[in-house]
Structure 1
Amino acid sequence: MAVPVTMPQLGESVTEGTVTRWLKRVGEHVEADEPLLEVSTDKVDTEIPSPAAGILQAILVQEDETVDTGTQLATIAQTDPATAPPAGPQVDRPSPSRRPIHPNHRPPIPSSAAPSPPLAAPPPPRPVAPAAQPVAPAPQPAAPARNPGGVAQRGRADSGAYVTPFVRTLAREHGVDLASLRAARNGDRIRRDDVLRAARSPRASQAALTPPVPRTTPALPVPVAERAPARDERGGTVVDIGPARRAFAASLLESLRTSAHLTTVVEADVTETVRSCEAAAASFRAREGVELTLRPFLASAVLEALKAYPVLGARADLDRKVIVHPDEAHLAITVGTPQGPVSPVIRNAGDLNLAGLARALDDLDERARTGCLVPENLSGATFTLDDRSAEGALFSTAVIAQPQVAVLGTGAVTRRPVAVAHPLLGEVVAVRSVLCLALTYDHRLIDGADAARFLAAVTERLQGGSLTAGLDI
């Protein structure tokens, strides 16, 4: 029975995806839920699992091709587990590239030990001849060692193990040398856990490294195909725009064509909130196991304001000429990654307290940095908080993620002199912590007055101190 493999819906508002790499070849066996290919969109790069166990019968979409969601990518000839072929024949094809990983380091030992008996027999004729005899078979085990390097495929580390873009980025961030890792217990794949284990225990990872390559092998350089970067005819280096960036650009233009973007900016005095956050940081970390930053306070203030002004968290459906008010608030938080910004979603965020929001934000940050986000983490948001405080910007006018109707952009907290009311001295100048809040909304559905009221509600909660009630200060 043939089972189709289709391009899944990789997040809300995502209509297409690009096949970046096939992890199996036609004719190879694949297990159910085993990673079959890698797909890239404007929101995430992810692995697509096989929907069934069987033989990869046909690949219909090649690497670097972009297709719409629902398009058939491949066909799997489903096999009955009782009649499925054993593991041996299924790895006949890739085994030449895997087998040398271990024999590559062992042949010198048997090769020197095996010819030794013949060395004892021929000494009478001539001592030089036996020395030449062992040299001849030596290149035979060395040949497989060069072969894996020569046929190394795109995405493989120097050790021959396949590495996903996420794992490669994670290794670079943790300073782990991919060429020194072996894909233990994972076939020929280096996975996230391998990198994290090596990062946590450098000495243990060094002990688990493959034995050093014999001296005779490095003498033969492995060919590396490095082509010079393309040059533009008017001068300058030509760099390809990746599929993820192309898809991201298309979604931005589509949003700008769809919604009437308008931005309203206010300032919030967050001095007391910042002080409370700093005072409770140590006890909060000990109790909850995560760092306490300003983001949970921002998220909590936004969620409370959305309860008072639910239209800001609605979903536009102009085809039906309606606005849909969701039953629950699903808050998206923008996170910067080496591949670009992503906005993972906190499900039912309105049900979480400050500690729950802090833990959820920390979890999504870790998933985004290590490339462990799945499509379910990137869809279904009803409102987006675009926090740009790490970049140091005061504020920015964000682009609305369709079909949402608003996004709140926040910048860096700045210290500056502000006129404040003193109970005894009247108006005085004091140095305060100030934060800009920039609300971008769809003016077709939201009036400027409603936007201003929503921002006032967020500001009141950030300045009033109500968000710090549960902290140990």
Structure 2
Amino acid sequence: MAKFTFNMPDIGEGIAEAEIVQWHKQVGDTVNEDEEFVDMMTDKATVPMESPVTGKILEIAGGEGDMVSIGSMLVVIEVEGEVPDDVTEESQAAAEAAPAPAPAPKAEPVEERIEVETSDASDADDALAADPDPAPQPEPRPAPEPSAQAKVLATPAVRKRAKELGVDLAQVKPAEDGRIRHGDLDQFLTYNAGYGAAAKPRADEEKKVIGMRRRIAENMAASKRNIPHFSYVEEVDVTDLEVLRAQLNSNRGEKPKLTILPLLITAICKTLPDFPMINARYDDEAGIVTRHGSVNMGMAAQTDAGLMVPVIRNAQAQNLWQLANEIARLAEAARTGTAKSEEMQGGTLTVTSLGPLGGVATTPVINRPEVAIIGPNRIIERPMYVTGADGVERIEKRKLMNISISCDHRVVDGWDAASFVQALKRLLETPALILVD
């Protein structure tokens, strides 16, 4: 018998540590060579670790949510006979390796760097009181027939929760893409209080905030703590834009169906050259604002793991159909957890939309270190006074959408934000100009 120590390897992202997301094996379990035994999360991606040997696990580095430094012990495995020399050398090299330095960013066209003097923002901590009287545990309910749940699209986590609650997923209304998520399940339980035992109060549940959810929490807290946000909202008449979109879709052939998002991104890219302070990143520590010439558009996408922001590179150089393809590809990669590390970083401006749940207005939180985020809201129809070509004012049914923008007030003034949105509004309300080079 021999003991083999598997040290946390440097996975090539210039990180100093990684977070334990999920153990697939525990102390006392047998792990086979090349079998995944734990998922580790960096700032950008979740990476499964595979065992180089077969044996019994004697020791693990910690629990889910704990951080493990690069080169430190991740797991100790008892193996039959001797550990191969190449495996031992590889693990020892990992222990001696220092975190790789972050790669220097590639030069981007027409960038302007501006030094900015700032003062430190104060921090504030909130405490939450615990409920001393937990709700009673619900009685167990029979799970629905597997055949009923197999007909719907849902992740394993959603299926497991539905099974525990005794909910038939076939009766739950899915999201627009046909996939059932936790929010859809919550909505079903809210509006079907008499379903099974759902009328009984749910028991309090404590869940450790780890993995992607913790990254989101840390990033959002840092953004609100460090950035003085302000928001501006304007109403846009998108009636003609929707007519143009319908015309383009009716003649698209084999091209992907256009949503409003490629049109909006194209309009934003055409507006930004006159407002370089919007397409920028702010280095707090160095006090430097970098105004970017190219537009790396972050696209907030909701996934079962939480909000992710894949990046459309050089969005200003892509046409509507290329943008539609890239939006669909990145959204699917984010939902399935297959997005690459480089596809999740380097954004210069973000667009976030709640789709059909968009509401009247939003005040989105800036994706730091960017300095602005744009939120299109739901399109609604309502009567408006419209002046025709004959100069006569009349009432017409029009399609309206509010555009929200949140900005970093250290970099963007209110006048600049309002002027940018007004310029964007003029372009969206005269959509033929979006297609003009």
How far did residue 312 of structure 1 move? 0.9
Specify the alignment match of 1:252 in structure 2. 220
- After superposition, residues 38-437 of structure 1 pair within 5 angstroms as 38-40=39-41, 46-49=46-49, 61-67=61-67, 72=72, 74=74, 80=86, 168=156, 236-243=203-210, 244-284=212-252, 286-288=253-255, 290-437=256-403
> Aligned residue for 2:409?
443
Q: For residue 62 of structure 2, what is the amino acid of its counterpart?
A: Q
Deviation string 1:42-87 (CA, Å, 9 cap, x unpaired) is: 876x23356x966799976323133277574637988549x99xxx
Offset at 1:278?
Answer: 1.8
Alpha-carbon shift at residue 408 of structure 1 (Å): 0.5
Task: Please tell me the residue identity of whatever aligns with 2:225.
Answer: R
> Which residue of the partner structure matches residue 425 of structure 2?
459
2: CA distance, partners of 1:299 / 1:47? 32
* DSSP 3-state at the match of 2:306: coil
1:309: Cα distance to partner? Answer: 1.4
CA RMSD for the aligned pairs? 4.0
Q: Give the C-alpha shift of residue 428 in structure 1.
A: 2.0
State whether residues 334 and 386 of structure 1, in contact with CA within 8 Å, keep that contact through their aligned partners in structure 2.
Answer: yes
Tell me which amino acid in the other structure corresponds to 1:256.
K
1:5 aligns with 2:8: yes
Give distance in 2, aligned partners of 1:402 and 1:47: 24
> Residue 182 of structure 1 aligns with which residue?
none
Distance 1:55 1:435, change over 3 A: same
The structure richer in helix per residue is: 1
3-state secondary structure, aligned to 2:246: helix
Equivalent residue number for residue 213 of structure 1: none
Q: Give the TM-score taking structure 2 as reference length.
A: 0.63
CA distance in 2, matches of 1:260, 1:7: 36
| Counterpart secondary structure, 2:307 | coil
Unaligned 5+ runs, structure 1: 85-157, 159-165, 173-198, 200-231
Separation in structure 2 between the aligned mates of residue 304 and residue 69 of structure 1, nearest angstrom: 44
Residues 282, 449 of structure 1: alpha-carbon distance in 2 compared, 3 angstrom cutoff: same
**Quick check: 2:297–2:311 contact (8 Å CA) kept in 1?**
yes
Give secondary structure in 1 for the equivalent of 2:232: strand
- Aligned mates of 1:80, 1:71 — CA distance in 2: 17
TM-score normalised by length of structure 1: 0.59
Distance change in 2, residues 1:271/1:239 (3 Å):
same
CA distance in 2, matches of 1:461, 1:39: 45
Count of aligned pairs: 324
Q: What do the CA deviations read for 1:257-307 (whole angstroms, capped 9, x no partner)? A: 1000000111111111111112322432x321x221101111111222222
* Partner AA of 2:388 in structure 1: H
CA contact (8 A) 1:269 1:435 kept: yes
Residues 276 and 468, structure 1, Cα contact 8 Å, conserved in 2? no
Supply the distance in 2 between the matched residues of 1:73 and 1:268 (Cα, whole angstroms): 57
Which residue in the other structure is 2:119 paired with?
none
Cα offset for 1:354? Answer: 0.8
Post-superposition CA distance 1:367-424 (Å, at most 9, x none): 2232322332221111100112221412210111111111001110111112222111
- Equivalents in 2 of 1:428, 1:347: separation in Å? 44
Q: Is the 8 A contact 1:167 1:370 kept in 2?
A: no
Q: Deviations over 1:108-146 (max 9, x none)?
A: xxxxxxxxxxxxxxxxxxxxxxxxxxxxxxxxxxxxxxx
Query: Take 2:232 and 2:293, find their aligned partners in 1: how far apart are those partners?
Result: 26
CA radius of gyration, larger in = 1
1:109 alignment partner in structure 2: none
Whether the 8 Å CA contact 1:9–1:15 is kept in 2: the answer is no
The answer to whether the 8 Å contact 2:379/2:400 transfers is: yes
Q: Which runs of 5+ in 2 are unaligned?
A: 77-82, 91-145, 147-153, 161-178, 180-200
